[in-house]
Chain A
Amino acid sequence: MLEHTPIQSSGFSNIGPDEDRTGFCLRIRQPNYRGLRMSLVEGIKVVVDEIEYPAATNLYRLGERTYTFDELDAETQARWPVGTAIEVLVDKPGGLDVGVHLVEIEVLLRHPYFPPQFRPAPVHDRRHITIIR
């Protein structure tokens, strides 16, 4: 089972070969009480040590499939289930330094049963997590 906070520490890792990191990966547990069609997920903004990585430029990996921000809206069938984590893939040449980072996220979820002015609704989380290598 997953860590209780939406931000997962396990899985926080650099991407790419050791000498040529291209970015990093952050796992996020479905923070809503029901699994959502991907078209209801309006992206995830990531902030690491106060540097912002906007939702529109991140990639989202769910199982075998990787979505761009625009592709999320087109995916009206596949769902991000409760009790599972999505991987946010962030482009950052050189990757992140080994060590502890302050990571913040904003997940935007569109709940059709919320009044229009509350769509999308944000979910925030903030946690210190560690890059091992």
Chain B
Amino acid sequence: MTSHFQYGVSLYSYTDDFGTVMDLEDAFYHVSETGSTGIEILGETHLPAYPQLETAWLDRWFGLLDKYRLEPTNFASWIDTDIQRRRDMTVEEGARQLTTDLELASRLGFKFVRPKFGVIDEELTPHPIWEGCVERVLDLAAKLDIIIIPEIHSPTPIRHPVVEGYIDFIQRTGTKHFGLLIDTGIFQDRPLPFWQHETPEMRDGAMSFLNGIKVPVEQLAEVIEYTPFIQAKFHHIDEELHDHNIPWEKVIPALKSLGYSGYLSSEYEGKRDPWVAIEQVRRQHALIRKLEREWEQANPSKPKEQRDA
């Protein structure tokens, strides 16, 4: 039997609605209404007393998971290496931050923690403390059974020293508690609209990645064994279920062919007018489910007996 994708939504999708026109239960409702089974949150966004966890909030969290039949997927964490204007974080501080987030994630029932390390250049090379920080918490991650997954995010492509560094780390330590999170923004092949204050000069220069870095989907094969989680980044899907930036008609068959059966966790990053995100996420789920169904119909799996023979 073919394994299916798991569908989820990151509450990042509802940025600016959350806290103005949407509370936590509204968010749960909208996620569950997409037919998702998984919910992704951001520690510093969705825990009101972060890094504290109030008992009443914890009770509410588990109540909502139960009521809306959702499971926690990925917990987003930040390692703010550039912590003060004239001082960088030490390895010890970074490891403490990761420890805090692993423990919070575990108490809330998450299986993945996405650390976002500060960077030192335009290609998003993580601050060199990343390796020491992660190495110090690997035992804890193993004990809590959580996988730490830094994201591969535009403008960093798959074939890049950042990715090689992470894979070297996995091979050197032999850990099963560190992997890659692929953000589908790396496959973007058409430009995004200009952001507030962006000029054509900026777009031609440092912001050119917003035109799309167009990573070939075939390169997923090179990292899929290290990739237990995918953030389904997108920006705009129109009334014809046509995505204006991300080539899902290539991404989905590539993932299906590779046998990926982990989460696709929606990350809407587009217009922030109230309630737009709710409908955009629904369109993405309709589109991806349609493409998955079409691929499965075109590639019927062999009965189990035949496979084993």
| Of B118-126, B179-187, B213-221, the one touching chain A | B118-126
Report whether B83 and A39 are in contact in the complex, using a CB–CB cutoff of 8 Å: yes
Query: Which secondary structure dominates chain A's binding surface?
Result: loop
Provide the residues of chain A in CB contact with B42, threshold 8 Å.
33-34
CB of A35 within 8 A of CB of B50, answer yes
Complex CA gap A35/B42 in Å reads 10
Q: For B21, what are the chain A residues with a Cβ–Cβ distance below 8 Å?
A: 1, 4
For chain B, give the interface size range: 35 or more
What band does the interface of chain A fall in when counting residues whose beta carbon is under 8 Å from B?
Answer: 20 to 34
Chain B neighbourhood of A7, CB < 8 A? none
Contact of B84 among A30, A76, A115, A122 (CB under 8 A): A76
Q: Mark B68-90, 1 if CB is under 8 A from A, else 0.
A: 00000000101111111100000
Instruction: Tell me whether B19 and A82 are in contact (CB under 8 A).
Output: yes
Q: Is B28 an interface residue (CB 8 A)?
A: no
- B23 within 8 Å of A (CB atoms): yes
Q: Is B20 in contact with A29, judged by CB distance below 8 angstroms?
A: yes
A residues 1-60 near B (Cβ < 8 Å) are 1-4, 29-30, 33-37, 39-40, 42
Residues of B within 8 A of A118 (CB): 206
Within 8 A of B (CB), among A63-116: 73-74, 76, 79, 81-84, 110, 112-116
Chain B nearest CB: distance from A79 CB in Å?
7
Does residue B15 face the partner (Cβ distance < 8 Å to A)? yes
State whether the Cβ of B165 lies closer than 8 Å to any Cβ in chain A.
Answer: no
Indicate whether B132 reaches chain A with its CB closer than 8 angstroms: no
Per DSSP, chain B at the interface is loop
When distances are taken between beta carbons in the complex, the residues of chain B under 8 Å from A127 are none
Say whether B116 contacts A113, CB under 8 Å.
yes
Contact with A along B190-220 (1 / 0, CB 8 A): 0000001100000000100000000000000
Chain A residues whose CB sits within 8 angstroms of the CB of B19 once the complex forms: 1-2, 29-30, 82-84
Contact B84–A73 (Cβ < 8 Å): yes
Q: Which of B46, B127, B197 meets A124, CB within 8 Å?
A: B197
Residues of B contacting A114 in the complex (Cβ-Cβ under 8 angstroms): 119
Q: Which residue of B lies closest to A118 (CB)?
A: B206
Chain A CB within 10 A, most for which of B12, B83, B196: B83
Contact A113 B118 (CB under 8 A): yes
Which chain A positions have C-beta within 8 A of B76?
34
Residues of B within 8 A of A (CB): 12, 15-16, 18-21, 23, 42, 44-46, 48, 50, 76, 78-85, 116-122, 124, 127, 196-197, 206, 274
Complex A-B, nearest 5 residue pairs according to Cβ-Cβ distance, in ascending order:
A83-B19, A112-B118, A112-B82, A33-B15, A34-B44
Other A-B contacts than A35-B45, A83-B19, 15 sampled, CB-CB below 8 A, are A4-B20, A4-B21, A33-B16, A34-B76, A35-B44, A36-B44, A37-B80, A79-B50, A82-B18, A110-B85, A112-B80, A113-B78, A115-B119, A124-B196, A124-B197
26 residue pairs from A and B, CB less than 8 Å apart = A1-B20, A2-B20, A4-B16, A34-B76, A34-B78, A35-B45, A37-B83, A42-B85, A74-B84, A76-B84, A82-B19, A82-B45, A83-B20, A84-B19, A110-B82, A112-B80, A112-B81, A112-B82, A112-B127, A113-B116, A114-B119, A115-B119, A115-B121, A117-B122, A122-B197, A124-B197
